[in-house]
């Protein structure tokens, strides 16, 4: 029934820790069901990386695995993290490494109202349908920082990104001498242009004529004034039909809580995008439904926004919808719009048809992770 017979895609999977393997297992089954309904097959390669692998073997993410992953069509990731591992090691060693290594410069985080999913703020009959387009390789998240114990800091600030390399030093001295920390943030013309292009393309695809540029140019004029200026210039030059509305991030958070349905595409520098997308996820219904993608011109990686939730791992309480919807983002990225739509409609139909009991435990029902996956597949 489809024109895409014989299509095959290979997907690298890092299910990870805690509830990661539970939700990824459902996301895979749903994606497979949707794709096979369109005559497309998905072949999965599993990788063991994460906290438990690290604790067992001391291995974080070997180069050989990175090279293998590169050859896949896309990647799915569950969640990485365990209270037994010092924070930072795996975030830097796995999550950030993958994002930088594959130059995944777009962090795509949609937030939408779903049937029967309670929201913390009344929507008065309106629906949330917004998407954060977060720059994913620059700003405060470049790892260019140090702590000084003795009032002096002199550190190399060298790094490589997809489109450039940066060399130099950060050299500071404080008087009177005291311990201090400094972290450098950078936004480049290259980086802001390419993320703005993506945000404008997204607005076009959604049939919208405005994007909101989330910034803070009043208090941080160099870094975020620059971001605004390049965003505006890029949009004016390449997308004349799209208007950039500038918003300071603090005011935006205020307005988001009061009227969460008022926004469409939110273009954010890395730091604000991290924060605003969690706020949007909370307003739209919670961690259990927030999906995400890290997208670049090479290997792109799709993952739920939530972490490994060690507090509910192994209990069946995990809601796999966030992972399932991340799978839909992956299918759309692979050009399988039909299959992606099938997954999204199946999630909506399942939620719409649930009579309380069969809602996810997260939303007051008693359906387990596995039962939710099965119910979604029935609606494919």
Residues contributing to the site for Mg ion (CB under 5 A): 274
> Are 273 and 138 a contacting pair, CB within 8 Å?
no
Task: State the catalytic residues.
Answer: 141, 216, 250, 274, 278
What are the DSSP calls for 263-321, one per residue?
-SEEEE-HHHHHHHHHHHHHHHT-GGG-EEEEE-SS--EEEESS---TTTTTTT---TH
Q: Vertex 291, ends 285 and 292: CA angle to 5°?
A: 140
Give the phi and the psi of residue 230 in degrees, each rounded to 5. -65, -40
In the list ligand NAI, Mg ion, none, the entry touching 319 (Cβ below 5 to 8 angstroms by class) is ligand NAI
State which of residues 15, 25, 53, 81 lies at the interface with ligand NAI (CB under 6 A): 81
State which of residues 287, 301, 328, 334 lies at the interface with ligand NAI (CB under 6 A): 287
Query: How far apart are CB 131 and ligand NAI at their closest, in Å?
Result: 18
Residue 307 near ligand NAI by CB under 6 A: yes
Q: Which of 35/94 has CB closer to Mg ion?
A: 94
Query: Beta-strand (E) ranges in the chain?
Result: 7-16, 40-47, 74-79, 106-112, 129-135, 145-148, 152-156, 159-160, 165-166, 169-173, 180-183, 210-215, 243-248, 265-268, 291-295, 301-304
Q: Which of 329/372 has CB closer to Mg ion?
A: 329
Query: How far apart are CB 363 and ligand NAI at their closest, in Å?
Result: 9
Residue 89 near ligand NAI by CB under 6 A: no
State which of residues 11, 15, 42, 79 lies at the interface with ligand NAI (CB under 6 A): 79
Beta-bridge mates of residue 155? 170
Token pair belonging to 6: 């014989």
Distance between CA atoms of 253 and 338, rounded to whole angstroms? 34
By CB under 6 A, which span of 76-84, 165-173, 249-257, 264-272 interacts with ligand NAI? Answer: 76-84
Query: How far apart are CB 307 and Mg ion at their closest, in Å?
Result: 9
Residue 359 near ligand NAI by CB under 6 A: no
Q: Which of 23/34 has CB closer to ligand NAI?
A: 23
Beta-bridge mates of residue 170? 155
Query: How far apart are CB 219 and ligand NAI at their closest, in Å?
Result: 28
Residue 285 near ligand NAI by CB under 6 A: no
Beta strands 129-135 and 265-268: pairing type? Answer: parallel
Distance between CA atoms of 191 and 94, rounded to whole angstroms? 22
By CB under 6 A, which span of 52-60, 113-121, 148-156, 302-310 interacts with ligand NAI? Answer: 302-310
Query: How far apart are CB 294 and ligand NAI at their closest, in Å?
Result: 10
Q: Which of 187/300 has CB closer to ligand NAI?
A: 300
Residue 288 near ligand NAI by CB under 6 A: yes
């Amino acid at each position: 029934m489809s024109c895409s017979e014989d299509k095959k895609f290979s997907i690298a999977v890092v299910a990870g820790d805690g509830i990661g393997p539970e939700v990824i297992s459902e996301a895979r089954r749903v994606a497979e069901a949707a794709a096979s309904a369109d005559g497309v097959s998905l072949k999965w390669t599993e990788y063991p990386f994460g906290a438990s692998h690290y604790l067992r073997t001391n291995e974080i993410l070997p180069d050989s695995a990175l090279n293998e992953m590169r050859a896949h069509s896309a990647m799915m990731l569950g969640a990485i993290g365990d209270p037994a591992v010092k924070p930072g090691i795996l975030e830097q060693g796995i999550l950030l490494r993958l994002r930088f290594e594959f130059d995944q410069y777009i962090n795509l985080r949609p937030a939408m109202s779903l049937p029967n999913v309670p929201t913390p703020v009344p929507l008065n009959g309106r629906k949330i349908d917004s998407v954060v387009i977060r720059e994913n390789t620059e700003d405060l998240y470049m790892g260019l920082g140090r702590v000084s114990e003795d009032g002096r800091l002199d550190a190399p600030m060298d790094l490589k990104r997809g489109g450039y390399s940066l060399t130099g030093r950060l050299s500071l001295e404080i008087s009177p001498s005291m311990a201090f920390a400094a972290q450098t943030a950078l936004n480049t013309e290259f980086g802001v242009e390419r993320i703005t292009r993506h945000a404008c393309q997204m607005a076009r695809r959604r049939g919208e004529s405005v994007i909101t540029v989330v910034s803070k140019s009043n208090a941080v004029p160099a870094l975020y004034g620059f971001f605004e200026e390049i965003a505006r210039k890029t949009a004016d030059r390449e997308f004349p039909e799209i208007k950039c509305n500038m918003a300071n991030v603090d005011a935006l958070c205020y307005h988001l809580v009061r009227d969460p349905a008022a926004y469409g595409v939110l273009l954010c520098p890395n730091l604000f995008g991290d924060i605003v997308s969690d706020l949007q996820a909370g307003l739209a219904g919670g961690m259990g439904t927030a999906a995400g993608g890290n997208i670049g011109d090479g290997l792109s990686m799709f993952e739920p926004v939530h972490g490994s939730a060690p507090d509910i791992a192994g209990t069946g309480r995990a809601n796999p919808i966030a992972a399932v919807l991340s799978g839909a983002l992956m299918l759309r990225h692979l050009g399988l719009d039909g299959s992606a739509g099938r997954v999204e409609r199946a999630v909506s139909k399942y939620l719409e048809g649930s009579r309380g009991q069969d809602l996810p435990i997260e939303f007051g029902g008693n359906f387990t992770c596995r039962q939710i996956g099965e119910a979604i597949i029935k609606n494919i």
